[in-house]
Chains A and B, each alone.
Chain A
Amino acid sequence: MPNFQASVLVSLRPSVLDPAGEAARSAANRLGVEGIKSLRIGKAISLELDAPDEAEARRRVELLADRLLANPVIEDWSLELECLPK
């Protein structure tokens, strides 16, 4: 069965406060890195899975992202998927 590598990026929805991102942004200023206008912190989740084809692999990871990895009330997510060579 083909093997896939998936990466799910979870980010806070734009309307949600991100006090940790804001604190990191102010530290960036203290470091002397100029011009940082916004900084928001999310999560990256990497996984490997076996699935019969790419469409099925995508369906499974989308379900996982929607139901477990992200909370759609406060977070958005995006998915990158690639088929690993045998």
Chain B
Amino acid sequence: MTIGVVVFPGSNCDRDVRWATEGCLGFPTRFLWHETKDLTGLDAVVLPGGFSYGDYLRCGAIARFAPVLQSLVDFVDKGGKVLGICNGFQVLTELGLLPGALTRNRDLHFICKDVDLKVASHRTSWLAGRQIGEELTLPIAHGEGCYQCSEDTLRKLEDEDSIALRYVDNPNGSLSDIAGITNYKGNVLGLMPHPERACDPLIGGIDGRRILQALIDS
């Protein structure tokens, strides 16, 4: 029962994630430097927020070629759970583990605030046991969170019930108010909001806890 948190040059939420998974939830957690290929002994991997490789070229474009991510593709094939938060979501789309892309926010601003989200699917273990439309509040902090994909991809996401979370009041222009999606198999979740920043009542909410809890519960 161990969680790995990938550390790229430029990641800045890696320690927050560890604080949440280990400090708040009590799961053994270890950091994975981007050059490692060794994911043995891990039940779940988190790709944290930040600016991997300076977000050069496009967010996540360089990170995609990191050795750790080549191992991650096999890890996902074998059913390992992967959570991509913010920059981690961007990396997952660049890597092709999730469809679509994240682009500049509609109004060009970097937005840092709490947002209300609605559960759009409870098909996967990430949001199992919740009601469709159930609301939760999580912080966002991004400049490039506008989810875009082709019409065919959107239809496929809808048909396969893979849109996990939607914004109640769309802050960034995302297509169909999408805040988070899963793969069809359900073991990969990418989302722009930061569940790790909502795990302790002292800092304003614990709505992120159940999402991180799902890293271990199956």
Interface membership of A71, Cβ < 8 A = yes
Q: Which of A17-25, A28-36, A51-59, A76-84 is the interface stretch?
A: A17-25
Tell me which residues across on chain A come within 8 A of B99, comparing CB atoms.
73
Interface membership of B148, Cβ < 8 A = yes
Q: Which of B13-21, B103-111, B134-142, B197-205 is the interface stretch?
A: B103-111
Interface residues on B, range: 20 to 34
A-B pair count, CB < 8 Å, reads 37
Interface membership of B100, Cβ < 8 A = yes
Nearest residue (CB) in B for A69 is: B57
Tell me which residues across on chain A come within 8 A of B149, comparing CB atoms.
73
Interface of B is mostly: loop
Interface membership of A27, Cβ < 8 A = no
Fill in one digit per residue for B92-131: 1 if any A CB lies within 8 Å of its CB, else 0: 0110000111011111100000000000000000000000
Chain B residues within CB distance 8 Å of chain A: 57-58, 61, 65, 93-94, 99-101, 103-108, 146, 148-150, 173
Chain A residues within CB distance 8 Å of chain B: 15-20, 23, 68-69, 71, 73-74
